[in-house]
Amino acid sequence: MHRSGTVNKNWGWLALCLALWGLSGPARAGAADAAFEQRFGDAFLDGYWRENPDAGIANGYYRYADRLLAPDAAGRAGYLRYLDRQLAALAAVDPQALDENHRSDWALLSNRLELERWSLLELKEWQWNPALYNVAEPFALLLNTPYAPEPERLRVVLRRLAVVPAYYAAAKAAVRQPTREHTQLAIQQNAGALEVLGKPLETQVAGSGLSAAERTLFLQRLGRARAAVGDYIAWLKALDADLAEHGGARSFRLGEALYETKFAHEIQSGGSAKQLYERALAEKERLHARMAVLAEELWPKYFPDTAPPADRVAKIAALIAKLSENHTTPDNFIPEVKRQIPLLEAWVREHDLVSQDPTRPLQVRETPVYMRGFSIASINAPGPYDPTANTYYNVSPLSDYTPAQAESFLREYNHWQLQVLNIHEAVPGHYVQLLHANKSPSRIKTLFGNGAMVEGWAVYAEKMMLESGWGGFEPEMEFIHSKWLLRVVTNTLLDYGIQVLGWSEQQVLDLIRDEAFQSETEARGKWRRATLSQVQLTSYFAGYSAIYDYRERLKAELGPRFNLKRFHERFLSFGSAPVAVIESLMRPQDAAQP
């Protein structure tokens, strides 16, 4: 294990490879597995949530929900010591003495803790990203999740409120040379924190079962918490103005060394970010070629009296522009999302693609303000500790858009692409995958899941649904879905291009608009997103490629014995583990006809 504070950029993958060596042999369950469970089972997780109470709340673990930790230097030093202790304990375990399930858990934990250590010591996002500091989401979850009677939850909130002023004081002390992009995001999202701590909470407290003394104390602490949030926002605005006038902001670009290390830990594909970038370039060309064929087929239907352009890109763009005219209205955008969900659920059920859980319905809602500004749609799913809590499909309303912006957005999410979005985010994408993940017997694989597997499954689900006949095999659906896949591919290209190759905003906009055929609103939104995150945008293509390649290999091996639902059920049963780990744990017969 490393003690120098510098993590080799390939360590996460090396740990994974080490964990998987010899998996073709028989499982060697026994004393080593029992010892690993005792050391890194529920007791370890309890300690982890004590150190990370906000993450515990997000995963449905409420034992330490009343703990709000001020992000100060002493806390970071203490957490670094905690990580070193856990990594030393993992280093003392011989992974070859474990069975395959525990061996993969060992690898996932090693990678996760090394990533956190590297992030503290090398990435140092806690210095340059003021948006990390926001109390809103844990408070919102505690107030809206009925894991306990309301008075008990309000008392938890009351204890957390006492720390809010110290929390934001520590945040101000931690921030040094931030990026302007993350500073502005922090201003926007902390305004949402004021809404979470706003007047409706006062009304809730007034009508609650708290005692009069508790209600009085609650209002006092709530007032001080709001003042702390407001002070942080004012401080950030002054800081941003100073950075604008005098300079000194950090670049949002990571550079190759930091980017490759983060990629190795977060994607866990075994390859480098550069290799994925090169594969994405080739896939972009393949999609363009296929879309040109479909455009030639569809052209007479939509342009019966006009000859198609000779230029391939121009022909594709013209057809996309025509098809994009078929879209819903701003007022009907969220209702249309709600309308489609039961239709997708029925399709998956009738075509026997993957099991669902009718006891866990999906709730479509407007994205809370404190979560806006990053993506148009997302899933909030409960963790395995509270699997019956609500799962939300967050969809941002178009109320803040100008008419021109709304039209641009709706052209992007047109009749066909909105269906693809709902498949991706909801059924059978993220929502269904996370339902299965919460049922995995390995909490480590579920709790410390791999983003490339999660996003890759959602992209794979789109293709799988179209293969099953969703959309009636219309060439329009394949054409628009190919455009969507271009987005997945260009996500990888632009993320690497921005963070490593130094692409300008104009280069990125040209790629998204002219080669991925996305709207102006989508292009500018993606530029913003890519300045606020790193590596995550590559997870879609990395995970999708790995899942699809694996499925196709199994289909070739099993021939007519391959059973799609059995493949899906077994694949999803391993939580959100990296695809390489799932491949090592599955056997061909797991996907065969019963």
Instruction: Specify the DSSP class assigned to residue 310.
Output: S
Residue 265 placed within a domain:
no
Q: Are residues 102 and 190 in the same domain?
A: no
Evaluate if residue 312 carries a pLDDT over 70.
yes
Note the pLDDT tens digit of each residue in 41-64: 999 999 999 999 999 999 889 999
At residue 351, the pLDDT reads 98
**Cβ pair 60, 389 in contact under 8 A:** yes
Q: Is 248 left (phi over 0), alpha (psi -120 to 50) or beta?
A: left
Residue 340 placed within a domain:
yes
Burial 199-220 (b: 16+ CB within 10 A, else e): eebeeebeebebeeebbeebee
Map tokens 């490879």 to a residue. 17
Number of domains into which the chain is organized:
3
Q: Are residues 398 and 524 in the same domain?
A: yes
Q: Are residues 158 and 108 in the same domain?
A: no
At residue 29, the pLDDT reads 53
Residue 562 placed within a domain:
yes
Give the pLDDT band (50/70/90) at residue 26.
Answer: very low
Q: Are residues 431 and 483 in the same domain?
A: yes
Evaluate if residue 555 carries a pLDDT over 60.
yes
Residue 293 placed within a domain:
no
CA distance 513 to 490: 11
Q: Are residues 490 and 538 in the same domain?
A: yes
Q: Are residues 141 and 64 in the same domain?
A: no
Of the three residues 123, 143, 160, the one that is the final residue of a domain is 123
Of the three residues 246, 267, 284, the one that is the final residue of a domain is 246
Residue 537: alpha-carbon gap to chain centroid: 9
Residue 252 placed within a domain:
no
Q: Are residues 16 and 92 in the same domain?
A: yes
Q: Are residues 177 and 110 in the same domain?
A: no
Q: What are 391's strand-pairing partners?
A: 362
Evaluate if residue 419 carries a pLDDT over 60.
yes
Evaluate if residue 97 carries a pLDDT over 90.
yes
Note the pLDDT tens digit of each residue in 172-193: 999 999 999 999 999 999 999 9
Note the pLDDT tens digit of each residue in 219-270: 999 999 999 999 999 999 999 999 999 999 999 999 999 999 999 999 998 8
**Cβ pair 580, 546 in contact under 8 A:** yes
Note the pLDDT tens digit of each residue in 102-137: 999 999 999 999 999 999 999 999 999 999 999 999
Q: Are residues 440 and 482 in the same domain?
A: yes
pTM equals: 0.87
Of the three residues 123, 153, 184, the one that is the final residue of a domain is 123
Q: What amino acid occupies position 186?
A: A
At residue 224, the pLDDT reads 98
Domain span at residue 583 reads 305-591
At residue 441, the pLDDT reads 85
Q: Are residues 437 and 519 in the same domain?
A: yes
Q: Are residues 138 and 117 in the same domain?
A: no
Residue 266 placed within a domain:
no
Q: Are residues 116 and 166 in the same domain?
A: no
Residue 144 placed within a domain:
yes
Residue 256 placed within a domain:
no
Note the pLDDT tens digit of each residue in 13-25: 444 444 444 443 3
